[in-house]
Amino acid sequence: MAQDHGAINLSQGFPDFDCPERLKQLVSEHLNGGKNQYPPMTGVPVLRQEIANKISRHYNFIADPETDITVTSGATEALFDAIQAVVNRGDEVIVFDPAYDSYAPAVALAGGNCVHLPLSLPDFSLDFERLKSAINQRTRLIIINSPHNPCGGVLSRQDLDQLAELIRDTEILVLSDEVYEHMVFDGGQHVSVLGHEELSGKSFAVFSFGKTYHATGWKMAYCVARSELMAEFRKVHQFVTFTTTSFLQYALADFMRECPEHALELPDFYQRKRDHFCALLKDSRFSFKPSAGTYFQIVDYSQISDQSDQEFVNELTRRHGVAAIPLSPFYQQPPDSRLIRFCFCKDDKTLEQAAGILCQL
């Protein structure tokens, strides 16, 4: 719709700026250097080693590159593989709405049943009492997402402690979607299940090269889990994509080794964009609390319109020339709210042009 109406696209989560120049140079070197045949199913060894080095530095988690790490063709594939690996017919999988839209279809394809629990408004926090009530003998998997798409919330160490307590002495597993790991703002730190002594042994953790290196179109990601879980994950991965683009893997390995500061600088990079976008909207009729993480900003448009979120974003795109995402499709049962999502991983000029329109509403 954004393309059809020539609208500024603040809807889908992709940057309108390019990935690092050095990374593109490395891609070219490996593309032209013969790295164009099948790589190993689990990912090239040098990349898996660099991933192990990184998660050791960031989360104090020691992963065996041979048994605990698998490179995938995008995070959605990794999420799908993990769900297919452990969910059987009749199993229940708990997800928290608003939820990324690939979770429920993957559960359905595995024959499982999704149990949708709403995050608590206005701060989109986990309701542990509702979670406790939802857990039963059929519960196989709990899917968490932090930093959270679409709402920008960030889980704390205390949240993970409470989750660990609830599933202690059970066979329930955790799938942790952590693709926005390096986008936590205001001095906060991303808390990974890998860094949690109790959860690390019963979790799949999914990460994204595309998000971290501004290259979403590459569809490059990876999953980390203890060897017994990863062995089941790989049985699915082998017959979904088998392996992932060879020369990109070598380039990413080199870039991770050469430029580890990129990930460390990313929180400040995106916080500047968040702060700039929020400052631009200060005089608008949208109300909002600055996002705690990701490159998404949730805003309330109730002072502007009483339309549904779908109607509002349709009109915003067609009549005003700015595309956004409604929140209701991320829910099984949407709340009675007036919330939409903007994406601020854009050039400053793009954000300024969009905000100029939004402030006139």
pLDDT averaged over the chain? 97
pLDDT mean over 57-79: 98
Q: Residue 139: is its pLDDT beyond 90? A: yes
pLDDT mean over 182-208: 97
> Which CATH number among 3.40.50.300, 3.90.1150.10, 3.40.640.10, 3.40.50.970 corresponds to the domain 21-258?
3.40.640.10
Q: Which pLDDT belongs to residue 18? A: 95
pLDDT mean over 305-311: 96
Q: Which pLDDT belongs to residue 268? A: 98
Domains 8-18+262-358 and 21-258 share a fold: no
Q: Which pLDDT belongs to residue 123? A: 87
Q: Residue 11: is its pLDDT beyond 90? A: yes
pLDDT mean over 98-115: 97
- Report DSSP letters for 201-222, one per residue: GGEEEEEEHHHHTT-GGG--EE
State the pLDDT confidence band at 58, using cuts at 50, 70 and 90.
very high
State the pLDDT confidence band at 121, using cuts at 50, 70 and 90.
confident
Q: What is the pTM of this model?
A: 0.96
State the pLDDT confidence band at 12, using cuts at 50, 70 and 90.
confident
Q: Residue 220: is its pLDDT beyond 90? A: yes
Q: Round to whole Å and give the CA distance between 184 and 210.
A: 17
Q: Where are the domains of the chain?
A: 8-18+262-358, 21-258
Q: Which pLDDT belongs to residue 146? A: 97
pLDDT mean over 73-101: 97
For the stretch 58-66, contacts whose Cβ atoms lie closer than 8 Å and that sit 24 or more positions apart, written own/partner, are: 58/181, 58/190, 58/192, 58/195, 58/263, 59/192, 59/194, 59/195, 60/195, 61/192, 61/194, 61/195, 61/200, 61/224, 63/194, 63/224, 64/227, 66/42
The CATH architecture of the domain made up of 8-18+262-358 is Alpha-Beta Complex (3.90)
Encoded tokens for 213: 């290196």
pLDDT mean over 120-131: 93
pLDDT mean over 3-18: 92
Q: Which pLDDT belongs to residue 295? A: 96
Q: Which pLDDT belongs to residue 189? A: 94
Q: Round to whole Å and give the CA distance between 36 and 71.
A: 16
pLDDT mean over 76-82: 98
State the pLDDT confidence band at 122, using cuts at 50, 70 and 90.
confident
Cα angle 322-125-328, degrees, rounded to a multiple of 5: 40
Q: Residue 269: is its pLDDT beyond 90? A: yes
Q: Which single residue is written with the structure tokens 């019963």?
A: 202
Pairing of strands 203-208, 92-97: unpaired
pLDDT mean over 319-336: 94
- Report helix, strand or coil for 299: strand
H-helix or E-strand containing 266?
helix 261-280
